[in-house]
Amino acid sequence: MRSTGRLTLRSGAASAVVLAVLLPAALPAAADEVRAKEYWLEDYGITEAWKSTQGEGVTVAVIDSGIDGSHPDLAGAVIGGTDASGAGDPRGQRGIGEVPAHGTLVGSLLAGRGHTDQPEPAQPATRPSGASTAAATPPPEPYSQYGRGPDGIVGVAPEAHLLAVSLWIEGSNSGPNPAGVPVDEQVPHAVRWAVDNGADVINMSLGSTSTAWPESWDEAFLYAEQNDVVIVAAAGNRAGGLAQVGAPATIPGVLAVAGLDRAGVASAEASSEGISIAVAAPSENLVGGLPGGSYADWSGTSGAAPLVSGVAALIRSRYPDLSAAQVVNRIVDTARDAGPPGFDTLYGYGVLDVAAAVGDDISVPAENRLGSMAEWIQLYRREGQAPEAAPVQPSLPPAEVIPAPPAPVAEDPLTPVHDVSAFVVLGFGGLMIAVLLGGAVHTARVRKRRPVPQDDDTGRMDRVPEARDEQGREGVPGPPPS
């Protein structure tokens, strides 16, 4: 059985129904069953890329609802953090807002390290002469040889470090930020903090219902660009009511990620559409870690974004001399074309190919193919005057892959719409999340250590709205923390 519902997110005096929540019946799962579900590791060339790097020496900031760094699969991964909302844990390691568990789900896909519940086998002091140990250890299950043990989730960049930056995203379950800090202030503060604290990559699995963004964000995203930081954002989800990508996925230079179903086709529910999409990555049949040490099956571009952020970390680890723009260009230039030939509004430049992005010997231009925030500000914010309308975009071909409802003509992300109120949500909306409840989902380690937190702000799963709409930027984490 499963239940559905609709949630209203509010921003200022305006409101809009943005989520059509779907919560499949909970299914028990053990940590050792999770690894086999990570089909993307093999299908998208991640295991091949691991032969040269696993993200060593790279730091990724996850601007989201907060990360539970005590999860067995994230042990040692979270090296710092902060709270931009004023209502969370100062280290960013407590889930807050409408979807408290969201940041842990995202972080585990990006840099999960796996674990083992089995004690180290005792080594015999001596071995009979001529005895062989070849048959003593059974062959590993798929992907189990990676990470720090065969159980749990191994992320795209399992040796990368994470910075947990928590935001309060308002919703019908969470209400307004008790600290009173608006999301339009939280987001730029989060971005600047991440840059100042060593982030090489920033992941934003959140989005808004508008292609435009508050002017208060300009300087923060420019600051990231000037300090050579890659920013990856989710494109949003059609099932959450976001047929078109919204900010921050529409911001120049930001790598916007669309979603694919299990077959590698543009997702009819867990992805939105727009001219700012750069690449497409898996967004359905995902699995992620939950606060307290359990796991959940989920879908949405909130999950596709950290997969791409992990790839950016792999590239920055293997090619430390490449600029942020060149890292973005490597991902874009090696994507496999899909849909109509060339760029399109469903797949962007194509489907993510990790092995090629990390391993191919290619040269890429120094200028970011996705644009420059510095140029945009100079063109549109000069002297504080409202910019002239950008040229009308040519008619876009119909989205044949996605039958439900027809997508609107994509708006130019470089055309600001200052009088439109945006609703910021985690790039979680409209997704399916099968929360694996019950003690069966906890790892043996966690069972011994402590129970799942019961405080409403810690990510208790009965408070996680089945799915949050990934608004904005044609499917990106919009204003402060998808």
Instruction: State residue 20's pLDDT score.
Output: 20
Q: Is the pLDDT of residue 385 over 90?
A: no
Instruction: State residue 425's pLDDT score.
Output: 65
Instruction: State residue 429's pLDDT score.
Output: 45
Per-residue pLDDT tens over the stretch 66-125:
999 999 999 999 999 999 999 999 999 999 999 999 999 999 999 999 998 866 555 544
Q: Is the pLDDT of residue 160 over 70?
A: yes
Dihedral class, residue 76 (left if φ above 0, else alpha if ψ from -120 to 50, else beta)? left
Mean pLDDT of 364-390: 79
Mean pLDDT of 446-468: 33
Distant-in-sequence, close-in-space partners of 16: CB < 8 Å, separation ≥ 6 = 8, 9, 209, 241, 423
Per-residue pLDDT tens over the stretch 223-259:
999 999 999 999 988 776 667 899 999 999 999 999 9
3-state secondary structure at position 454: coil
Place of tokens 């519902």: 5
Q: How many CB atoms lie within 10 A of CB 76?
A: 11
Indicate the average pLDDT of the chain.
Answer: 77
Q: Is the pLDDT of residue 431 over 80?
A: no
Of the candidate ranges 125-134, 304-313, 405-414, 456-465, the one whose mean pLDDT is the lowest: 456-465
